[in-house]
């Protein structure tokens, strides 16, 4: 394997599947050797994007083909549970797009199955890798003991998907799982502790209100406020609005501690503007405000190059036999907070994480 390219299969060739193909195309020592998608049109697009590799209508056919050392799972969320279990059984390395699965219970099933495997299993929570966010993570020491984390995402509505499967909570796990698992993962990473309770309020107030599919009205939330409490006393907050395209920054992340505050500001990807990292201390005020560029990354794509940087680490973990940096345990804990937030909204109450925690 040291002298041959790692062979990748792409399971799902929608927008993000094509994005992963583009990343692998510029990643040394790798190549896409097969794709699968049940939709004939998308399958043809995937075959074309990956330079004519074999295309399969099912993931089972791809896994049985013997053409792949690793797979990237980019199918709709509600298929992840089945595909991941099949990929683990097939003995390939796996990178799965977020969310890992649509429920914590499904995530635990996959985690437990993977524990018996010696392959690399990785969850695509790539916001960790966005250059402004990575710069914030590198400067956390300046904040001292972390006490509060605040994340704001003000952005555009959900994009169209094949059949618009993402317009329904039953398919996605809900907005706070589908979209926000990235942010709950960042909270967990920064705080370094386990969430114990969640309080949330949210609704569908602007987007997709007139959309119906087979007589069913879209039910996906477009805004929410979520508070998460951790077992070490830290509190975290998410402010999500998906009808705020005009915002100068798509994400604003603030970590406040006993000594100061570290912030990251991430512009919309299509602007081409750099992100910003800023450090303030209680003793000295503003001590750093720096632009953070992504122009050094071979394929910037839709997330400021985060997906490419994630692929570098996934490839290196396979080649060197090292542990994944984003584990199935991380994937589970990013999902369970979103699941608890939806329960909190549904039932208008505080939800204890223990209520949803798989044994």
| pLDDT per residue as tens digits for the range 320-348 | 999 999 999 999 999 999 999 999 999 99
153: left (phi over 0), alpha (psi -120 to 50) or beta: beta
pLDDT value of residue 1? 38
Vertex 286: Cα angle to 285 and 290 (nearest 5): 165
208: left (phi over 0), alpha (psi -120 to 50) or beta: left
For 149, counting Cβ atoms within 10 Å of its Cβ (0-12 exposed, 13-18 middle, 19+ buried), the class is buried
pLDDT value of residue 343? 98
Residue 247 has pLDDT above 60, yes or no: yes
CA–CA dist 249, 154 (Å, integer): 8
Domains of the chain in start order, with CATH, are 6-126+307-326 (3.40.50.720), 128-298+334-355 (3.30.360.10)
DSSP string of 163-227, one letter each residue: GGGGGSHHHHS-HHHHTTHHHHHHHHHHH-S-EEEEEEEEE--STTTT-EETTEE-----EEEEE
104, 151, 178, 328 from 113: Cα distances, Å: 14, 33, 23, 10
CA–CA dist 207, 242 (Å, integer): 8
Mean predicted confidence (pLDDT) in 48-72: 98
Mean predicted confidence (pLDDT) in 215-243: 98
Q: Dihedral of the CA atoms 331, 332, 337, 340 (nearest 10)?
A: 140
Identify the band that residue 358 occupies on the pLDDT scale cut at 50, 70 and 90. confident
Mean predicted confidence (pLDDT) in 34-44: 98
Residue 112 has pLDDT above 70, yes or no: yes
State the Rg of the chain over Cα.
Answer: 20
Vertex 272: Cα angle to 271 and 277 (nearest 5): 100
Asked whether the beta carbons of 121 and 91 are under 8 A apart, the reply is: no
Mean predicted confidence (pLDDT) in 27-38: 98
The beta strand positions in 117-175, using DSSP E, are 121-124, 146-154
Residue 3 has pLDDT above 60, yes or no: no
DSSP state letter for 66:
T
Identify the band that residue 272 occupies on the pLDDT scale cut at 50, 70 and 90. confident
pTM of the model: 0.96
Task: Give the CB-side neighbour count of residue 170, counting CA atoms within 13 A.
Answer: 3
Identify the band that residue 302 occupies on the pLDDT scale cut at 50, 70 and 90. confident
Mean predicted confidence (pLDDT) in 275-297: 96
């Amino acid at each position: 394997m040291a002298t041959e390219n790692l062979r990748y299969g792409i399971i799902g060739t929608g927008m993000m599947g094509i994005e992963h193909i583009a990343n692998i195309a510029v990643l040394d020592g790798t190549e896409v050797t097969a794709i699968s998608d049940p939709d004939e049109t998308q399958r043809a697009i995937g075959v074309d994007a990956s330079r004519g590799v074999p295309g399969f209508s099912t993931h089972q056919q791809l896994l049985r083909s013997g053409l792949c050392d690793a797979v990237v799972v980019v199918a709709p969320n509600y298929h992840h549970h089945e595909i991941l279990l099949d990929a683990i059984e097939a003995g390939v390395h796996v990178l799965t797009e977020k969310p890992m699965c649509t429920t914590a219970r499904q995530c635990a099933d996959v985690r437990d199955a993977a524990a018996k495997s010696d392959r690399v299993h990785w969850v695509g929570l790539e916001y960790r890798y966005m250059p402004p966010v990575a710069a914030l993570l590198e400067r956390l020491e300046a904040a001292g003991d972390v006490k509060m984390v605040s994340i704001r995402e003000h952005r555009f509505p959900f994009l169209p998907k094949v059949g618009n499967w993402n317009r329904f909570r039953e398919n996605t796990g809900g907005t706070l799982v589908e979209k926000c698992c990235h942010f709950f993962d960042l909270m967990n990473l920064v705080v370094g502790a386990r969430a114990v309770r969640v309080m949330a309020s949210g609704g569908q107030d602007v987007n997709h209100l007139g959309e119906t599919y087979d007589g069913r009205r879209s039910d996906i939330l477009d805004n929410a406020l979520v508070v998460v409490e951790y077992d070490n006393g830290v509190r975290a907050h998410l402010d999500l609005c998906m009808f705020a395209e005009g915002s100068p920054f798509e994400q604003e992340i603030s970590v406040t501690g006993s000594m100061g505050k570290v912030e990251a500001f991430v512009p919309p990807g299509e602007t081409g503007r750099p992100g910003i990292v800023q450090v303030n201390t209680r003793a000295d005020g503003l001590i750093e405000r720096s632009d953070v560029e992504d122009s050094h990354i071979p394929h910037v794509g839709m997330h400021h190059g985060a997906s490419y940087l994630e692929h570098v680490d996934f490839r290196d973990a396979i080649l060197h036999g090292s542990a994944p940096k984003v584990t199935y345990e991380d994937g589970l804990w990013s999902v369970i907070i979103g699941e608890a937030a939806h329960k909190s909204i549904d039932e208008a109450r505080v939800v204890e994480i223990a209520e949803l925690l798989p044994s």
